[in-house]
Structure 1
Amino acid sequence: MFFFEDFCKRVEKTTVEPKDIEKFRLDIKKVIMWLGTGVPLLLMGLYQGYMFYLNSTKYAYLVFSIIFIYLGLKHLKTIFEFGITLNLKEGKIISKGVDLSFDDIQSCTLKEQSVGKSSRAQVVIDIITKEKKEIIIPLMMGRKLIFIAILRDKLKNRFRIVKG
């Protein structure tokens, strides 16, 4: 809770001169974490596949190989897939599966909540569109303060911060 209140104070003080197109990628800590698990899983899967190649009678090697390769590729996919682009020239938020105009946003809320299966609370942007769709963007990217400051400046009275 203390972190979020401090983060909100820093957001309120932040001023930014944005470019026409701002790109936000995964935070370096998250990249290292996903690479640190994805690459070893992929290597273990390849090793298990090689062991199956040498001992083609033991199908357990093949099963473990498929599982490890699948998990490793899933982790690597997460790294390269995450990205949010703010196209300020056209007034859009562009991400995987989301192409949202600033005019279509009814409200945008910065708050702390748990996302997905995790019980740990994290800072998120909760966007409600005029069609009553809810889009939750977890702030896992680098340059979070700049991202939030741009949204705050562009959305003006539709942007709010919910503390506590």
Structure 2
Amino acid sequence: MLFYEDFVKKIDSTDKIQLKKFENFSVEMKKLVSGLGIGVPLILIGLLQAYLSKGTELRILPSILALVFIFLGLKQLKTTLFYRISVDTETKTLVGEKLVLDLNVVESCTLKEAKLGKNLQVILDIITTNRRQIIIPLYMKNKERFVLVMKEILKEKFFIKK
């Protein structure tokens, strides 16, 4: 809880920021290292399994297992390395991997701490005018800047849950 309270104090203490036309945010170093620490060993295990499966006869189950490990490792690497969130401050558009959100249709945006999986995470809970809920976990570098950009764009629609 202490981390979230400090984070909120930093956000509240900053009055106004200078916005760029495009604000880009990528994955933070801790998540990058953990993603690589999972993806690379999975690929190596898959390659080893593929090497061991091609003996004198072709073994089907180890070959399938090798393909599954390689697929999971590549998917993990793709998710980790290509995590990007961009905010176009002129057109007020938020663009993520599978998300394009016009910030003009946002009804409310709440900064809060919520349980995602087993851990508490700081998230932005966005509700649009057509009652669609979008949760953005703050896994990126410059979390404070991202929240301040959203706060500046959304103004009175932005709330902080303490």
Q: TM-score range by the shorter chain?
A: over 0.9
Q: TM-score, normalised by structure 1?
A: 0.91
Aligned residues: 161
In 1: Cα distance, 2:158 partner to 2:56 partner: 61
Mapped pair 1:98 → 2:99: yes
Aligned position for 2:150: 151
Give ranges in structure 1 of 5+ residues lacking alignment: none
Aligned position for 1:120: 119
Mapped pair 1:129 → 2:128: yes
Q: Secondary structure at the match of 2:100?
A: strand
Amino acid at match of 1:40: P
In 1: Cα distance, 2:106 partner to 2:119 partner: 27
How does 1:39-58 map onto structure 2 within 5 Å? 39-58=40-59
In 1: Cα distance, 2:145 partner to 2:56 partner: 54
Amino acid at match of 1:161: I
Aligned position for 1:160: 159
Give the CA RMSD over aligned residues: 1.4
Aligned position for 1:38: 39
Q: 1:62 deviation in Å?
A: 1.4
Contact residue 32 and residue 81 of structure 2 kept, 8 A = no
Aligned position for 1:12: 12
Aligned position for 1:65: 66
Contact residue 27 and residue 83 of structure 2 kept, 8 A = yes
Aligned-pair identity in percent equals 37
In 2: Cα distance, 1:153 partner to 1:131 partner: 22
Q: TM-score, normalised by structure 2?
A: 0.92
Output one character per residue of 1:15-50: Cα deviation in whole Å (capped at 9) or x when no partner. 421210011111111111111110111011011111
Q: Secondary structure at the match of 2:37?
A: helix
Give ranges in structure 2 of 5+ residues lacking alignment: none
Output one character per residue of 1:118-162: Cα deviation in whole Å (capped at 9) or x when no partner. 132110000000111000000000110000001111111110100
